[in-house]
Structure 1
């Protein structure tokens, strides 16, 4: 993290980074399928009540830990100590495991559209086997050092963003020009029904609006300091919320939400738009497929390598074995990467056993991805609540309002996130055995293992002389958990 004397990020660059990191047209399609046009106000609600306050929380943590380079680990450690810092960093890796289960099948769909111009119908089992081979290749590449992947990711994400903006602009222009929406736009259609299914779908909305932690770390790199950062990121949040909401609104211009599928929804809406403008469906499918494939494949490569390296380089030495964290000549923990592969394989297989088709499989894994993605923000918000409650005297340049305001805002966030997390873990209309074994069992198993592992580490500290110190230095006043 740069110091204030080396600030090189301007307002426009920060704004661009925020939009590119958070907005994804596929999230709009998935949310529309889940709750229809209710997604329109839901995205705005998520922006105002979650994204903006969450970014301000991250900004305050960055301001408190100016010299820290370890991100989420140091933020949580400065408030709640080493134990919960480890759990928070571990959760970021743990969440990524379920992200793989949703992105890998989609890459196969994108590849079929890019190559053939249509979706090849294959069974959930064939999808899983193909996903395993694809992930094995991604893991192998990540262990060899993949600096070139950053360029692929940058190009892919830029193309996806341009494509999304073009879709919104053309669809909005058609609507203004007189096209009647396939789904009537009414107040009743956009009014939420506060059911258990809706609260579970809100986890998808919150997941779509996530990514603030990736932007908040640049607070000290922005020209103009905290004030410029806050103003720019608030504007970015409103822009992203508006973009998500408008996208959700025009998504149903030519294709009703009831006709969309998780696997091909993006191609359905682009295809309908292209047909209206007399663009060859085959050409458009291949173009959209190629763009989505490049973007998703580059992202897969980066996220196959980055979380593993971050987890094993950030936490204190001694928690994992020396062989597991050993770096190869490309500066990558190769064994840890293959351990990650072995963990992801059953996560791909289990939901496929209880799914009759690819769309049902994607429904399960997308829901679980959204649910687990709420865990790291929950821990960060709990750490912030503790900071304002017990350690508000610690010096920092930026604060999200007074102590009372900070506590009140965080309390609301924790309540909303808590309900959405539980509703997503126990989704409506999902097989109970699959829910208990995959959703509940997965969270309990992974978090339980992490807590047990840290307990083992604590016991090793008590029996060793002298006591080994964690790598990162705690902020002044930090209270360490036992």
Structure 2
């Protein structure tokens, strides 16, 4: 793989269209500074760590568990891998509810989830039931090993990629038509138009969103062996892709300021982290129509079609991701760890090569969390916001295990190390401490920000309940395995 192909692969794995609208909604133009800082202090050093792991510890089932086991030990490896798997459980809880936003937007031109009702249930509870239905359908199809879903994944990826092109092109037309006028004027660079992110605590809490925007770096470790002259090409690819992704986010955030006035478009109580992309794309279409002289009614219709196209692309993207993530993490967990840890049914593969019993157990667990969350919250906006925060925290916590283990991995003897980014022990410790503290600090501020600002402990409890619960569960599972091994004299 040449440098250009490596950069494109990293870009498509990490860059997310929805990250820029979320950043603009929370921090306005100030989010550009946070994204730049996250690239320098997190993306590049962490990606180079993953490259060292992947190049040194190879094998068919090599991955997070093997990396941690070689570096620290089996108990630590299992807990870390289980937390990584748990992060995808929380992602499925969050996304199975959010998937109905693009679905309804595709047909109605705007988010209709807050208007849904079934019998005497409110909209949040109804969406919770629909999320459970989605989980059952996806699990049922996935255990059959259906391969046609790859076409949906590719189509969704193409649609979402085209959204970036639409944003750039239409923003340029609006900017020229409005003679350089920005709908959102520049203010102090770190001033957020969102009242919840104007305090120092709010600014620090936003950091986890910037970190989450660079998520998915674990896959980079497997690319080292496929890269031409990896010792030189790979670090160049990491740095160049970091620049491309950071510039992409910065340009995207700036483009949203061309068409979207925060107070006029995003201050509504119906706008939330679940539907923000569709609200802003709808407004982009409206502003295009208005800037080129279309009637108000025509501009509104154009905005609705922009929202529909966004909804279709995001729905297809979610669907493709779901059909992969519904089985890939649990298959890695069950087959990548000692089989004796699990009941025999969990490790059994059906004719399609899927761990169907484990997948149905996963489905039941996700549905249980969805129902607890949806029936425990009456406010739709609060429901989607807390789901997003839960996903952000849970997806970044597993990084701490890999970062903590990295200095120990560097001291592990008898490893072939074809790629070495960190050559001195002192520099390794320095980088490890910096990245570890940044991720840990961002999560702590995100978790406790609502309580510190006097908004109560409910959001804080939701964000820590998942990690604590899954940590306890992983410890209990491993303790059971350790007792069985001890009794068997192993």
The question of 1:144 aligning with 2:134 is answered no
CA offsets, 1:397-456, max 9 Å, x none?
Answer: 222232211111110011111111212232425864534643223221110110121122
What is the Cα deviation at residue 166 of structure 1? Answer: 2.9
The question of 1:21 aligning with 2:22 is answered no
Pick the aligned partner of 1:426 from 435, 448, 460.
448
TM-score of the pair, normalised by structure 1 = 0.89
CA offsets, 1:111-141, max 9 Å, x none?
Answer: 1111222221231111111111111101111
Residue equivalent to 1:405: 427
Pick the aligned partner of 2:288 from 263, 277, 280.
277
* 8 Å CA contact 2:389, 2:463 repeated in 1: no
* 8 Å CA contact 1:40, 1:190 repeated in 2: no
TM-score of the pair, normalised by structure 2 = 0.87
* 8 Å CA contact 2:51, 2:220 repeated in 1: no
What is the Cα deviation at residue 201 of structure 1? Answer: 2.1
Provide the secondary structure at the position in 2 that maps to 1:453.
helix
* 8 Å CA contact 2:18, 2:277 repeated in 1: yes
How far apart in 1 are the matches of 2:27 and 2:232?
Answer: 37
What is the Cα deviation at residue 172 of structure 1? Answer: 4.6
Pick the aligned partner of 1:112 from 94, 99, 104.
104
What is the Cα deviation at residue 354 of structure 1? Answer: 4.4
Residue equivalent to 2:90: 98
Q: 1:373-452 maps to which residues of 2 (within 5 A)? A: 373-388=395-410, 390-391=411-412, 394-401=415-422, 402-428=424-450, 432=456, 434-435=458-459, 437-452=461-476
Shift in CA distance, 231/444, structure 1 to aligned 2, threshold 3 Å: same
How far apart in 2 are the matches of 1:430 and 1:349?
Answer: 27
Shift in CA distance, 313/366, structure 1 to aligned 2, threshold 3 Å: same
How far apart in 2 are the matches of 1:36 and 1:392?
Answer: 48
What is the Cα deviation at residue 189 of structure 1? Answer: 4.4
What is the Cα deviation at residue 334 of structure 1? Answer: 0.7
Q: Is 216-225 or 194-203 further displaced after alignment?
A: 194-203
What is the Cα deviation at residue 202 of structure 1? Answer: 1.3
Residue equivalent to 2:119: none
The question of 1:197 aligning with 2:202 is answered yes
Residue equivalent to 1:185: 186
Q: 1:2-151 maps to which residues of 2 (within 5 A)? A: 9-67=1-59, 69-120=61-112, 121-122=115-116, 123-151=123-151
What is the Cα deviation at residue 145 of structure 1? Answer: 0.6
CA offsets, 1:129-173, max 9 Å, x none?
Answer: 111111110111111112222232122113202212331343256
Where do 5+ consecutive residues of structure 1 fail to align? 1-8, 468-482
Residue equivalent to 1:230: 235
Shift in CA distance, 360/211, structure 1 to aligned 2, threshold 3 Å: same
The question of 1:267 aligning with 2:278 is answered yes
* 8 Å CA contact 1:426, 1:439 repeated in 2: no
CA offsets, 1:276-323, max 9 Å, x none?
Answer: 333723332222211111111111111112111111111111111001
Pick the aligned partner of 2:327 from 289, 294, 305.
305
Residue equivalent to 1:344: 366
Provide the secondary structure at the position in 1 that maps to 2:340.
coil
What is the Cα deviation at residue 248 of structure 1? Answer: 1.6
Give the superposed CA RMSD: 2.2
CA offsets, 1:22-55, max 9 Å, x none?
Answer: 1112122222222332211111111111111111
Residue equivalent to 2:294: none
Provide the secondary structure at the position in 2 that maps to 1:328.
coil
Where do 5+ consecutive residues of structure 2 fail to align? 117-122, 290-298
How far apart in 2 are the matches of 1:173 and 1:87?
Answer: 51
* 8 Å CA contact 2:393, 2:443 repeated in 1: yes
* 8 Å CA contact 2:51, 2:224 repeated in 1: yes
* 8 Å CA contact 1:350, 1:438 repeated in 2: no
* 8 Å CA contact 2:93, 2:366 repeated in 1: yes
How far apart in 2 are the matches of 1:263 and 1:440?
Answer: 20
How far apart in 2 are the matches of 1:188 and 1:116?
Answer: 36
* 8 Å CA contact 2:61, 2:336 repeated in 1: no
What is the Cα deviation at residue 253 of structure 1? Answer: 2.0
Q: Is 254-263 or 50-59 further displaced after alignment?
A: 254-263
Residue equivalent to 2:247: 242
Residue equivalent to 1:330: 352
* 8 Å CA contact 2:339, 2:347 repeated in 1: no
Provide the secondary structure at the position in 2 that maps to 1:426.
helix
